Every structure is written in C-alpha cells, then in structure tokens.
Amino acid sequence: MVYLGLDGPGGLQRKVRVTAFLYSTSARGHIVEGMFARLQRGDSVQAFPVWIHQSASGDVVRGGGLCVTSNGIALDHIFLSPADGTRYRFLPGDYVIELFASVVGDRRPQRLQRVELSVSQEQAERIGSDAEFDILFDWSPEARTFAASIHEARKADKPEKPLLVELQGKPDYLRDRP
C-alpha cells in the first residue's frame, strides 16, 4: 500500500506512507541506518527525508535504524517532507516514488523500490486542503497496477493493531479469521 497526504496539526507537512517487506539476500543481513523517499512529478522532484517506522518492540520510531535479515521484515514506513518551510503540493498527474536506504558499509544509498502512481484532479483537490484524508493506493496483483481511493488519514495513522507483521504463520490481526 502507498498513501499520499498531509500530516500533523494543520497538515503542514506532506507525507508518503508505504507498507513494505524488506529482506536481505545475505545470510548475515544488513543494517539500515536510514531511509528516505523521493517523489517525482514531471520535472518536479521532492525528497521526503524524515523517516518514521515501528521498532521490533512496537514503538513508533523517528529514524533509529533497522536490522534486515534474510527472513525479512514487513513494516509501515512514513516519510515526511522537510520542516524547512517547503510547501510541496500534491497536484494531479503521474508520479514516481522511489524508496532509498542507507545501509551500513555502503557509500551511497541504495534504491529499494520504484513505484508509478497517478493522481486525479479530484484526489489532488481533496487531499490538498484536508489533512483528514489521504490518497490510498492498493496494489492489484491481477491488474498489476495500483488502484487509488480517498482514505481517512486518522484511521491510517492510528491502526488498531501493531504495524509490525509476523513473518511466520498468520499475523496476529488475521489469526481470528478463517
């Protein structure tokens, strides 16, 4: 899943929220020092350098690093626009989101994922003025594309269940379901 929207009181910062499964092909794993997202629309490029994720203990962490093993780990990652007065606007059009990780021992950040999305005029207007809503993009495996819809942001930012997903067996929030 991918979310685009506003964050914080008054929706001053823009956010990109991604649910991602990270894994290492190395038996020893890798240590991620930091992550960031880059959003491109046409010739416009905006970095989202503030990284927030959930720690293994369930605490929400701003930065903090992450150990990624060969077993993998599924987490929600929230990337915020810089708090330097930059006023990025989500406009209608086609977007490319790239996720990068700074890995211990590597000189340059590694690009982990590249995702292409499209934002309609109506969606851009809705999230551009209201911090209560995000655009939610769900992956459709059959269509091999993302389908967009407007989503209540406050519910997305405060899930009833932990963001951390177990990797063996069913996750806790699915155990009661058939």
| Cβ 75 vs Cβ 20: under 8 Å | yes
Residue 164 included in any domain: no
Q: How far apart are the first and last CA of the chain?
A: 23
Residue 177 included in any domain: no
Task: Say how many residues make up the chain.
Answer: 178
Phi, psi of 26 (to 5 degrees): -85, 140
What is the reported pLDDT for 102? 92
Comparing CA positions, the residue from 20, 50, 3 lying closest to residue 164 is: 20
Residue 170 included in any domain: no
Comparing CA positions, the residue from 5, 92, 94, 87 lying closest to residue 46 is: 87
pTM for this model (two decimals): 0.79
Residue 174 included in any domain: no
Better-predicted residue by pLDDT, 64 or 178:
64
What does the block give as tokens for 44?
A: 């416009």
Residue 31 included in any domain: yes
pLDDT of residue 111 exceeding 90? yes
Residue 90 included in any domain: yes
Residue 144 included in any domain: yes
- 35-92 per-position pLDDT tens digit: 999 999 999 999 999 999 976 677 888 877 888 888 888 888 999 988 887 778 889 9
What range defines the domain where residue 23 resides?
A: 2-159
Q: How many CB atoms lie within 10 A of CB 12?
A: 14
At a CB cut-off of 8 Å and minimum separation 6, what does 109 contact?
36, 100, 101, 102, 103
Better-predicted residue by pLDDT, 166 or 155:
155
pLDDT of residue 131 exceeding 60? yes
Per-residue pLDDT, averaged over 132-160, amounts to 76
Better-predicted residue by pLDDT, 162 or 81:
81
The total of structural domains in the chain comes to 1
Residue 176 included in any domain: no
